[in-house]
Chain A
């Protein structure tokens, strides 16, 4: 059925379709609607699952991991400060190889406090062992949650998965979404039957044991890395099956007007929609530009990215995040992915934009492309991240600083 759903509603619909059995929950804006919806369905008996409210995200993620290890399909959701509060347990749950799916609704981190999105929250978890899929549309949110269980529960992977969606720009935004039939989803995602030891009173096992031997630690840790790398191939296989049943196709990257483009903008998540709009407009101005969106952020699809960007004149990486003291987080990962390829783009420039949900205007996209063109022409690559921020943005901030008592600040 095709209906208007918010990103939060799309997550909830997918969780119900996946026959999730256990949902530990804790509210946080802009994610709360997910757990409100699921708890309502469970109370109305239109969904059969156990819903438990916890005292914090730290306990919630612990509960999710523990429940998953008893052999039940488990879902949980959080955002921003909540994800950080659970941080220690993200590494634990991944180390337990518990195949949970966690929806993270991106919201910029305090301080200063805000409710709108950037990706410092989800990218802080990039080294935890969770597979990460970042969605652009509400449809992709729904489809990615369903695919995430297939990837998480596959024995070649057996790692938890984060499905990321932007706060407000997706979480509270309704769009037309095709909601598949339960029977179809069950065909794609059969009942969860773990194939190896899990918590069960009849066959006791110890999970999350201590290894005071460093070789053992190295072994277990590197096994997680190898399993995560497997997730790329498993994703492609799962995606092909998904396309056969539901008719929608997802790769580890998504592209827009990329093939014949000389200059490429690399983005993630929902702001890529604005990027596509800007690309369309720049094309009418005669610019040969395209967009590459990285959908799978962990494992990082280095080869797929290098292949897509081979032979391009210039590439701009827009990081909607900032590693304070370094710059964009994904930029060095892209540089690493491209370094060993013969046909790597000569120009690779880092842009930081959309912090705290600040919209990226057409002027800023135009600036990106002219910076790329200039660098390609003059052969003077930019070493530092360029901030996407306009004169209009500054005028607004300047006014606020005045009200806050900081005087009339000159830019």
Chain B
């Protein structure tokens, strides 16, 4: 059984990617199981999806513990301590990653000994590779790595993309993009079944004082440990020449990303900002603009 584990961010189309891969494998006559795991269910938040492909009926469920192929749609995920997809790979897992880094840079930066395949979607026109189309590119790169015929990818895309109500022109454009990515990815690493299980002893649970064992958080402010700035597609920029210090942005920010400087001007903590755009909408003097966030 080939286990494919996909990792990306909400809004990139990772679930759609898993469906395109799953359906392409299904059309080739394999048994298939695919499943997204939505995580925080927020645009930009880490999301994963799993595809199992087998010649025999599949007797597994849920998250994949032994990936044959680990697909990473966005190298900013590697910077996140809580969600680093590289932590879940095994020795022989092939890693397929969208990055501008070279294989050797990547291997040395993250001490990786695994077979690596890199592709760089930043080379494409940013108008074509935007968040929703990223998943299509990732699906095409994955299918190429799995040595699936492009015709299966095309058939699968028509089925899956019409299923999410894309019109004919958009589907044609998507297939065109997929073909370019498919041709760009150099394969050469063979994706194989990764077997083996993680053994762990049984833990005997004892009574703990409710001060510990009640589901509560006593360490206030620990949400700072989970930096969410990378979730955002856009960042608010304030025009201080025109800002009236009315504090409306501070009041409406759902993530408390606003503080004030000594003169009373609002300052954005970009590590806490999820790019929800509420401050821009609410600013009564319209001095907040949104700029596209630099990916890393």
B215 partner residues in chain A, CB cutoff 8 A:
111-112
Q: How many Å lie between the Cα of A174 and that of B218 in the bound state?
A: 40
B202 at interface, CB cutoff 8 A: yes
What count of chain B residues pass the 8 Å CB interface test?
A: 37
A387 partner residues in chain B, CB cutoff 8 A:
205
* Docked-complex contact A175 and B200, CB < 8 angstroms: no
B252 at interface, CB cutoff 8 A: no
* Docked-complex contact B202 and A4, CB < 8 angstroms: no
Cβ proximity bits A49-65 to B, threshold 8 Å, 1 near / 0 not = 00000000000000000
* Docked-complex contact B33 and A175, CB < 8 angstroms: yes
Stretch at the interface among A70-78, A224-232, A320-328, A403-411: A403-411
B62 at interface, CB cutoff 8 A: yes
Cβ proximity bits A141-172 to B, threshold 8 Å, 1 near / 0 not = 00000000000000000000000000011001
Interface of chain B residues 199 through 235 with chain A (CB within 8 A): 199-203, 205-206, 208, 211-212, 215-220, 222, 225
* Docked-complex contact A4 and B32, CB < 8 angstroms: yes
Q: How many Å lie between the Cα of A364 and that of B200 in the bound state?
A: 8
Interface of chain A residues 346 through 366 with chain B (CB within 8 A): 357, 359, 361-364
* Docked-complex contact B219 and A404, CB < 8 angstroms: yes
B205 partner residues in chain A, CB cutoff 8 A:
387, 389, 394, 411
* Docked-complex contact B23 and A277, CB < 8 angstroms: no
Stretch at the interface among B34-42, B263-271, B274-282: B34-42
* Docked-complex contact A392 and B198, CB < 8 angstroms: yes
B292 at interface, CB cutoff 8 A: no
Q: How many Å lie between the Cα of A176 and that of B206 in the bound state?
A: 43
Stretch at the interface among A179-187, A267-275, A373-381: A267-275
Q: How many Å lie between the Cα of A394 and that of B63 in the bound state?
A: 19
Cβ proximity bits A125-151 to B, threshold 8 Å, 1 near / 0 not = 000000000000000000000000000
Interface range on chain A (Cβ under 8 Å from partner): 35 or more
Q: A404-B217, A411-B203 are in contact. Are A4 and B23 (CB under 8 A)?
A: yes
A293 at interface, CB cutoff 8 A: no
Q: Which of A277, A389, A392 has a CB less than 8 Å from the CB of B60?
A: A277
* Docked-complex contact A401 and B212, CB < 8 angstroms: yes
B122 at interface, CB cutoff 8 A: no
Interface of chain B residues 66 through 121 with chain A (CB within 8 A): none
* Docked-complex contact B219 and A403, CB < 8 angstroms: yes
B206 partner residues in chain A, CB cutoff 8 A:
411
* Docked-complex contact A361 and B197, CB < 8 angstroms: yes
Q: How many Å lie between the Cα of A43 and that of B263 in the bound state?
A: 56
Chain B CB within 10 A, most for which of A174, A388, A409: A174
B31 at interface, CB cutoff 8 A: yes
Interface of B is mostly: loop
A253 at interface, CB cutoff 8 A: no
* Docked-complex contact B199 and A389, CB < 8 angstroms: no
B216 partner residues in chain A, CB cutoff 8 A:
404
Chain A CB within 10 A, most for which of B37, B61, B222: B61
A390 at interface, CB cutoff 8 A: yes
B26 partner residues in chain A, CB cutoff 8 A:
4, 176
B222 partner residues in chain A, CB cutoff 8 A:
403-405
Please name the residue on chain A nearest to B220 by beta carbon: A405
Please name the residue on chain A nearest to B218 by beta carbon: A405
Cβ proximity bits A384-403 to B, threshold 8 Å, 1 near / 0 not = 00011111111000000101
* Docked-complex contact B218 and A363, CB < 8 angstroms: no
* Docked-complex contact A391 and B200, CB < 8 angstroms: yes
Q: A393-B203, A403-B219, A403-B225 are in contact. Are A172 and B59 (CB under 8 A)?
A: no
* Docked-complex contact B59 and A273, CB < 8 angstroms: yes
Q: A175-B32, A277-B60, A403-B225 are in contact. Are A389 and B202 (CB under 8 A)?
A: yes
B21 to chain A, nearest CB (A): 11
B52 to chain A, nearest CB (A): 10
Q: How many Å lie between the Cα of A30 and that of B73 in the bound state?
A: 25
B151 to chain A, nearest CB (A): 18
B22 at interface, CB cutoff 8 A: yes
Q: Which of A168, A280, A364 has a CB less than 8 Å from the CB of B62?
A: A168
Please name the residue on chain B nearest to A393 by beta carbon: B203
Q: How many Å lie between the Cα of A140 and that of B88 in the bound state?
A: 32
A367 at interface, CB cutoff 8 A: yes
B26 to chain A, nearest CB (A): 5
B9 at interface, CB cutoff 8 A: no
Please name the residue on chain B nearest to A392 by beta carbon: B200
The 6 A-B residue pairs with the shortest CB-CB distance in the complex, in nearest-first order: A405-B219, A405-B218, A112-B215, A390-B200, A277-B59, A392-B200
Given contacts A174-B22, A176-B26, 13 further A-B contacts (CB under 8 A): A4-B23, A168-B35, A174-B34, A176-B32, A273-B59, A362-B199, A364-B202, A387-B205, A389-B205, A390-B200, A394-B203, A405-B220, A406-B211
What are 13 A-B interface contacts by the 8 Å CB criterion?
Answer: A173-B34, A174-B35, A176-B26, A176-B32, A271-B61, A274-B61, A276-B59, A362-B197, A363-B202, A404-B217, A405-B220, A405-B222, A411-B203
Interface residues of B (CB under 8 A from A): 19, 22-23, 26, 31-37, 58-63, 197-203, 205-206, 208, 211-212, 215-220, 222, 225
Interface residues of A (CB under 8 A from B): 4, 111-112, 168-169, 172-176, 270-271, 273-274, 276-277, 280, 357, 359, 361-364, 367, 387-394, 401, 403-407, 409, 411
